[in-house]
Amino acid sequence: MELLSVPRSLLSCCSNVTFLGLFLTVFVLLLDFLKRRKTWNRYPPGPSSIPFLGSMLQMDFRQPQVSFTQLSKKFGNIFSLQICWRNLVVLNGFEAMKEALINKSEDIADRPRFPLYEHMGICGNSAGLVLARYGRAWKDLRRFSLSTLRNFGMGKKSLEERIIEEAGFLNSAFESEESQPFDPHFIINNAVSNVICSITFGNRFEYNDKRFQKLLHMFEESMKLATGFLPQMLNAVPSLMHLPGPHQKILEIPKQIMRCLKEIADEHKESWDPAHNRDFIDAFLGEIEKAKGSQETTFNELNLLFTTSDLFSAGTETTSTTLRWALLFMLLHPEIQSKVHAEIDRVIGRDRRPELGDQVNMPFTNAVIHETLRCGDIVPIALPHMAYRDTEIQGFFIPKGVVIITNLSSVLKDETYWEKPHQFYPEHFLNAEGQFLKREAFIPFSAGRRVCLGEQLARMELFIFFTTLMQRFTFLIPENQPKPQLKPCFAVTSSPHPYQICAKLR
């Protein structure tokens, strides 16, 4: 009724203003789209784009590597896309990836903005390791992180002994299931995470520790929420983050993780002794103290939380997922499982604990682990790179600032390189004499400036955990249950669907 009392001329004026505002907004967005859609000479070809959405309708964001492979058949191994207003170039196949990641490593070492995480303070000199822009701050932090990880045992006997000890706890947890069917997912998560916890937090946790379990579940939930169409839209159109809706959960889980890590960091501060570093957090607190008063330093309290989160996440998810794939492949290929058992019995026996030094005498077991990483395709798409400067890859011009997507799956499944790219075939890593064979196209941890910081740690863990489990158990599909499916679940990592397993003592 109140509207009836408003003069029609005023209503008409308001309507015109609203329409004009809407028109101007659309016009500005369209101009911005056309500006960003500009092409360059020798720029990679790609599918057509539509205003605002770009090429998004041609993508399956739950399985982007599948979409990229299909598009590469039409446009070649290097092609362009547009996600809303952002220009992307996608690299596929071993030759393109080798030139980009190895020969032009610094050219593509930058990272794009991630507005989805900027609301947490991830920007500038406070972006952790994984999402940080390429430059001095990132170099200083990576150098410090690598040095500190080595100081706390990475690549040394001391850390190997911790992994061997944790493998014993993992064995005990499997044995407690008493050959009954169980899902190994979180038991494996607990064991793998405890290794990085011993480095970052200074101690391991019991598998039923409530705070530990909460942290693990939050990280896993965050990984799931970080993929798909919605996160892409939020990064492309950050203003959507201020609207209510289900996407708010994507924003809330990382905040909860940060609050949990802050509690741990605060506990460290209370008992911190500058003369004695117990773990990574203590070492970082020392750097913060040294850098007090510097405005340009990368060593600040936000970066302490972000870097710890990066290490915890990277040190848990990929290795845990790989071990779950390994056990699944053993269930589905009992003949391969028998060969691993035979090699363990011959080289180690059943009484002595496996050690990293055994690896050189166990080519078949080593090949099985490598083939698990290849066939399991654990990280199909690496985190986005961005051109740090104008560059060329295989004759195509890539301008500075363009986002570069490396489809690692296309290398690990490259049909021109692997004999049986879509099958689990450990012989990919064995020569005619049965000795272990290194393969150039094996890049599950990526390569170049942005190669995974924890690759060495992951390799140690995979060999010791897998060999220790295989020494102790025979893994069987539970009776009256269907054969587990190989179709993966996609998040940041490609993980197997939940499955049940029986661990029978050998």
Q: What does the angle CA 324 – CA 91 – CA 427 come to, to the nearest 5 degrees?
A: 45
How many Å is the Cα radius of gyration of the chain? 25
Q: Point out which residues pair with 407 in neighbouring strands.
A: 381
Tokens of 266: 């605060």
CA 264 remoteness from chain centre: 23
Is residue 452 marked as binding? yes
Q: How many residues does the chain have?
A: 506
Q: What does the angle CA 357 – CA 374 – CA 149 come to, to the nearest 5 degrees?
A: 50
Instruction: Name the residue with tokens 């505002």.
Output: 21
- Compute the distance between CA of residue 358 and CA of residue 344 in angstroms, rounded to an integer: 9
Q: List the 385-386 sheet strands across, edge first.
A: 78-83, 86-91, 403-406, 385-386
**Sign of the CA dihedral with 407 first, then 408, 414, and 420 last:** negative
Instruction: Name the residue with tokens 């911790």.
Output: 162
Task: Encode burial over 338-347: b for 16+ CB neighbours within 10 A, e otherwise.
Answer: ebbbebbeeb
Cα torsion 328, 455, 69, 496 to 10°: value is: 20
DSSP codes joined into one string, 329-374: HHHH-HHHHHHHHHHHHHHTTTTSPP-GGGGGG-HHHHHHHHHHHH
- Compute the distance between CA of residue 358 and CA of residue 381 in angstroms, rounded to an integer: 32
User: Which positions ≥6 away from 124 have C-beta within 8 Å?
Assistant: 137
User: Which positions ≥6 away from 255 have C-beta within 8 Å?
Assistant: 120
Instruction: List binding-site positions for heme.
Output: 452
Which residues fall in the annotated binding site? Answer: 452
